[in-house]
Amino acid sequence: MKQTVDELVTVVMYFSAKNKRVVPCKLEWQHEVYELGKVDYYHSYMDGRERQHIFELCNEQATLWFRLRLNSLNLHWTLEAIHDGNAD
């Protein structure tokens, strides 16, 4: 079931110089740590003067889907939504 969350979360990321990309690799939410798989979808948009980066990806086991937003002005990460793969 898809759940809208809209909460600040802790994310560990790295920058790939080879691919020139920021890659989130760990997410901490509600006292749980999730190892993240590859980014399935990415896009960005401007919200006033702030660029918002959207990452959609699953955990390593591919049992949970996450939609993360990175605000490039303050570098805050927001978990926008989570989905467990079950029908609503």
Task: Please report the DSSP string for 36-47 in residue order.
Answer: EEEEEEEEEEEE
Domain holding 25, by residue range, is 2-83
Determine, yes or no, domain membership for 26. Answer: yes
Question: Whole-prediction pTM value?
Answer: 0.90
* CB contact set of 81 (below 8 Å; sequence gap of 6+): 2, 3, 4, 5, 66, 67
Domain count, the chain: 1
Determine, yes or no, domain membership for 8. Answer: yes
In DSSP terms, which residues pair with 75 in a beta bridge? none
Predicted local confidence at residue 87, as pLDDT = 67
Predicted local confidence at residue 88, as pLDDT = 63
Determine, yes or no, domain membership for 30. Answer: yes
Q: What is the pLDDT of residues 20-45, one digit of tens each?
A: 988 999 999 999 999 999 999 999 99
Determine, yes or no, domain membership for 88. Answer: no
Indicate the range of 1-5, 48-52, 68-72 predicted with least confidence.
Answer: 1-5
